[in-house]
């Protein structure tokens, strides 16, 4: 899933959870954690490639044979897309602050969505570093899947909008025939 869809999906889930939870959910933090795996994996390489292009180290933003290599990015990618790493971080934060930080579930949602929607080099090694096992899923950029993703997100936000809480004085009035 692309980063925009991850952000929208996390936002919809956080809004729904906030409506049903006894504790407030901070939407901004949930959104941050929902896109964190991709930000952590791709921000530094993107900035480096732009810098290298601007300073003449490379003539393109795309990887080149014999050009600067960023192999370490896959370590970050595997780390931030690992259910085990997520579990350790979630548990450690829970212990430190003495309560679950529900906003971190955006990170878990990101991983859960990416497992069936990534393939090849980007297939999710969800048990990393213990195992390199991965599931070759359907690429998220496949036309019908991309259309289904954004259609589902539009439907989810439409439902959230239709079921939003309204102040008591703004409720629509109904006229009764006399």
Q: Give long-range contacts, CB 8 A cutoff, 24+ apart: 58-61.
A: none
Per-residue b or e along 107-125, where b marks 16 or more CB atoms closer than 10 Å to that residue's CB = bebbbebbbebbbeebbbb
Where residue 62 falls among pLDDT bands split at 50, 70, 90? confident
Q: Give the tokens for residue 123.
A: 């297939």
Flag whether pLDDT at 58 surpasses 70. Answer: yes
DSSP state of 22: S
Q: What is the pLDDT of residues 2-40, one digit of tens each?
A: 999 999 999 999 999 999 887 889 999 999 999 999 999
99-113 pLDDT per residue, tens: 999 999 999 999 999
């Amino acid at each position: 899933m692309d980063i925009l869809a991850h952000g929208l999906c996390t936002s919809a889930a956080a809004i729904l959870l906030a409506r049903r939870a006894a504790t407030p959910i901070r939407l901004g933090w949930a959104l941050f954690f929902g896109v964190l795996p991709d930000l952590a994996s791709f921000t530094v390489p993107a900035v480096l490639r732009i810098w290298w292009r601007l300073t003449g180290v490379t003539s393109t933003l795309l990887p080149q044979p014999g050009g600067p290599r960023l192999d370490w990015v896959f370590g970050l990618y595997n780390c931030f897309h690992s259910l085990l790493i997520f579990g350790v971080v979630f548990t450690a934060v829970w212990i430190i602050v003495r309560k679950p930080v529900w906003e971190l579930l955006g990170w878990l949602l990101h991983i859960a969505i990416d497992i069936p929607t990534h393939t090849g080099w980007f297939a999710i090694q969800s048990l990393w570093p213990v195992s390199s096992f991965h599931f070759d899923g359907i690429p998220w950029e496949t036309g019908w899947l991309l259309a289904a993703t954004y259609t589902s997100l539009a439907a989810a936000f439409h439902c959230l909008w239709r079921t939003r809480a309204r102040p008591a004085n703004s409720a629509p009035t109904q006229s009764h025939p006399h």
